[in-house]
Structure 1
Amino acid sequence: MAQIVLTASAPPVPVSCNYGAKPWNKSVLLCSSRQYASTSSSSLSITSFGGRSLRIVESKANATAAEAAASSEGFDEVAEGQLVSYSWADNKPSDRDPPRKMKGKSRLFTIGLVTAWYSSNIGVLLLNKYLLSNYGFKYPIFLTMCHMTACSLLSYVAIAWMKMVPMQTIRSRVQFLKIMALSLVFCVSVVFGNISLRYLPVSFNQAIGATTPFFTAVFAYLMTLKKEAWLTYLTLVPVVTGVVIASGGEPSFHLFGFLICIAATAARALKSVLQGILLSSEGEKLNSMNLLLYMAPIAVVFLLPATLIMEENVVGITLALARDDVKIIWYLLFNSTLAYFVNLTNFLVTKHTSALTLQVLGNAKGAVAVVVSILIFKNPVSVTGMMGYTLTVFGVILYSEAKKRSKS
């Protein structure tokens, strides 16, 4: 650790600077690896120390630069008539740097979270497909109700008992009505998505689902008149074109399943736009775990009568199936638990990674799900269909990049 000793013999130059949230008027010494400076009462002078020197930030206009540099380069205060010492690291780890073992553990923890996120997402998707198509359990509304019941119970356990996040309360009747509206749209998206899996292979289902950004942009414009940059809209062309190509080359294409899947994708996008509109005020914002805690029971209330009316005697049929094959009960329990872990791991990955990392991981997740589903279910895939899906994913990546640039 190299060290400099600087004597401040002249009166300090008063500096107006905001560092963090606290405004203060003091002389600020900003250190860089190449230049240091000392001051006199009237002007800025440079004093060289072994090829290095000290630089003073003199005005409020430079406060932002001082704050940015201070985080990586360090600073100290120069007080009148006081001996001031300054140290720099010479590329050696500081005592305050996290130990390498902790960094390694943090990296392993993040990798574990991403693995759990991928596994739960792909697992619940494949198990839904197996139950609704291959196993012959043709009750998507009841299956969704099982998912929402599990989300209700496990959300309460995670928040109220395990204290994973602080519990947020509903503050008004208006806020409750907004959450009800979100829950209804959420139900439609999940139920329609499960229905589409009865008719479409997972690979094609994921290709259609990748068009979510297109519907999000459309609903954002229609409901908020929010316009994106022309480049952002341009990137949606390959997203839609890819799905058109994939549809034409899909050997297992089913028109009803295709339309239902489009509706599910649109409902998913509508839910995200509505959430931004309805819960936009600071007093109404809920984190995703608390939002699920309130949405899931409301969804069960919506789904219960729909199940009884549209899937008559489903409970009796399920019990009859269980007498012949008890594995159906374990499938439903495991699938419902996975449905909750999709939401939990999504929240944790969002919390522990950057927005850019999340975008990249999200784009890759769909491609991984397609490959895994093809390997498991052996559904036929054409070269045209794969080209269309690849074009769609490429368009989504371009869209994410365009959105990021428009915000910067």
Structure 2
Amino acid sequence: MSSSPASSSSQSQSRRRGLLIACLITLWYSSNIGVILLNKYLLSNYGFRFPIFLTMCHMTACALLSYASIVFLKLVPLQVIKSRPQFLKIATLSVVFCASVVGGNVSLRYLPVSFNQAVGATTPFFTAVFAYLMTFKREAWITYAALIPVVTGVIIASGGEPSFHMFGFIMCIGATAARAFKSVLQGVLLSSEGEKLNSMNLLLYMSPIAVVVLLPSTLVMEPNVLEVILALGKDHKFMWLLLIANSATAYVANLSNFLVTKHTSALTLQVLGNAKGAVAVVISILLFRNPVTVMGIGGYTITVLGVVAYGEAKRRFK
């Protein structure tokens, strides 16, 4: 019995959609893991010890490439800022975003990628805390219970981390908290249908503000950045290419994050993010040969399982 033309067309569209999603997830994984590893290589193994300037390079690339993607490639329609309050909301988000990215980059100077990812997996814990404090939104008790292993796993991993560094740990926790705060703040500040921006347009407007915020910080806290970079460029002929590739990869990571969310869901993105963290841990250990212990691996595993349980609880009780 042959299938109808409509059924064949539906199956063909389903296969194409599945292939598209698989390609987008692959792009998201590779770009996210790539930018993390490139950041680690630049900041710890290459002598490029300027995390604020590196973040500014990322934001500059995001501004330029977002403009090209929206205006020339027309991936999404260009949205305009409609009011001064809306601009202030975007600026606030941009400052918080800067804090999360700079904190993450600073932590990579002191911590291995594996432990950095373990701490980053606690983002749902901070998100739940900030959501309650800012919106008084309560979740089901089982949802909060699922966060217990998330925190416990990081505590165990910290005790078993041979390369543990207190300042790096504090910066990583701060970056994770800022990332969660930014997520909640975005939902609160840009909830009005009349002012809501899609992710790509939000990135377009946030990135230049981030550059303006980061430039004076770079000049004050990293005053010799240009001198050292020029010297590194002379000693390492591929340094500039590596920096450009790193910045472009940061934009692709943001873009692919938006596209995966668009074609799947936020919950799917969270679950996939947990798996991405595990993949990044394995790759970083293979590349950088940082020492690991059974206790550290066990703690990270508990954290990942806790986040998966949290996502499942959110899905069932939302």
Give the corresponding residue for 1:381: 292
Give the corresponding residue for 2:120: 209
> 1:311-326 residue pairs with structure 2 within 5 A?
311-326=222-237
Give the corresponding residue for 1:349: 260
Matched, 1:148 2:59: yes
Give the corresponding residue for 2:190: 279
Q: Distance in 2 between matches of 1:131 and 1:389?
A: 25
**2:178 alignment partner, SS class:** helix
Give the corresponding residue for 1:291: 202
The Cα of 1:97 is off from its aligned counterpart by: 4.7
The Cα of 1:355 is off from its aligned counterpart by: 4.3
Matched, 1:127 2:4: no
The Cα of 1:327 is off from its aligned counterpart by: 1.1
Higher relative contact order (CA 8 A, sep 6+): 2
- 4+ residue stretches of structure 1 with deviation over 6 A? none
Q: Of 24, 27, 36, which aligns to 1:113? A: 24
Listed one character per residue, the Cα deviations across residues 184-224 of structure 1 (whole Å, up to 9, x for unaligned) are 00000000100000000000000000000010111111111
Structure with more helix by fraction: 2
In our comparison, the structure showing a higher alpha carbon Rg is 1
Q: Distance in 1 between matches of 2:191 and 2:16?
A: 36
Q: Distance in 2 between matches of 1:147 and 1:267?
A: 18
Q: Distance in 1 between matches of 2:127 and 2:18?
A: 33
**1:148 alignment partner, SS class:** helix
**Over the residues paired in the alignment, what is the CA RMSD in angstroms?**
1.5
Q: Distance in 1 between matches of 2:83 and 2:12?
A: 47
Matched, 1:256 2:167: yes
Q: Distance in 2 between matches of 1:284 and 1:182?
A: 14
Listed one character per residue, the Cα deviations across residues 359-396 of structure 1 (whole Å, up to 9, x for unaligned) are 33121111111011111111100000000000000000
Give the corresponding residue for 2:217: 306
Give the corresponding residue for 1:192: 103
Q: Distance in 2 between matches of 1:95 and 1:399?
A: 40
Give the corresponding residue for 1:372: 283
Q: Of 269, 273, 289, which aligns to 1:362? A: 273
Listed one character per residue, the Cα deviations across residues 88-129 of structure 1 (whole Å, up to 9, x for unaligned) are xxx944526526555433332221111111000000000000
The Cα of 1:354 is off from its aligned counterpart by: 3.9
Listed one character per residue, the Cα deviations across residues 47-69 of structure 1 (whole Å, up to 9, x for unaligned) are xxxxxxxxxxxxxxxxxxxxxxx
Listed one character per residue, the Cα deviations across residues 307-344 of structure 1 (whole Å, up to 9, x for unaligned) are 01100021122112111212110111000000000011
Q: Distance in 2 between matches of 1:268 and 1:186?
A: 7
The Cα of 1:179 is off from its aligned counterpart by: 0.4
Q: Of 152, 157, 171, which aligns to 2:68? A: 157
Q: Distance in 1 between matches of 2:307 and 2:122?
A: 8
Q: Of 27, 45, 48, which aligns to 1:137? A: 48
Q: Distance in 1 between matches of 2:267 and 2:177?
A: 24
Q: Distance in 2 between matches of 1:185 and 1:161?
A: 29
Q: Distance in 2 between matches of 1:313 and 1:131?
A: 17
The Cα of 1:136 is off from its aligned counterpart by: 1.5
The alignment of Structure 1 onto Structure 2 pairs a total of residues equal to: 318
Structure 2 unaligned blocks of 5 or more: none
Matched, 1:237 2:237: no
Q: Distance in 2 between matches of 1:355 and 1:256?
A: 32
Could you say if the C-alpha distance between residues 397 and 223 of structure 1 is closer, same or farther in structure 2, counting changes exceeding 3 Å? same
TM-score normalized by the length of structure 1: 0.76
Q: Distance in 2 between matches of 1:117 and 1:275?
A: 21
Give the corresponding residue for 1:327: 238
Q: Distance in 1 between matches of 2:282 and 2:235?
A: 33
The Cα of 1:357 is off from its aligned counterpart by: 3.2
Structure 1 unaligned blocks of 5 or more: 2-90
**1:166 alignment partner, SS class:** coil
Percent of counterpart pairs with the same letter?
A: 70
**Match for 2:230: what amino acid?**
L
TM-score normalized by the length of structure 2: 0.97
Matched, 1:339 2:250: yes
**1:133 alignment partner, SS class:** helix
**2:310 alignment partner, SS class:** helix
Give the corresponding residue for 1:57: none
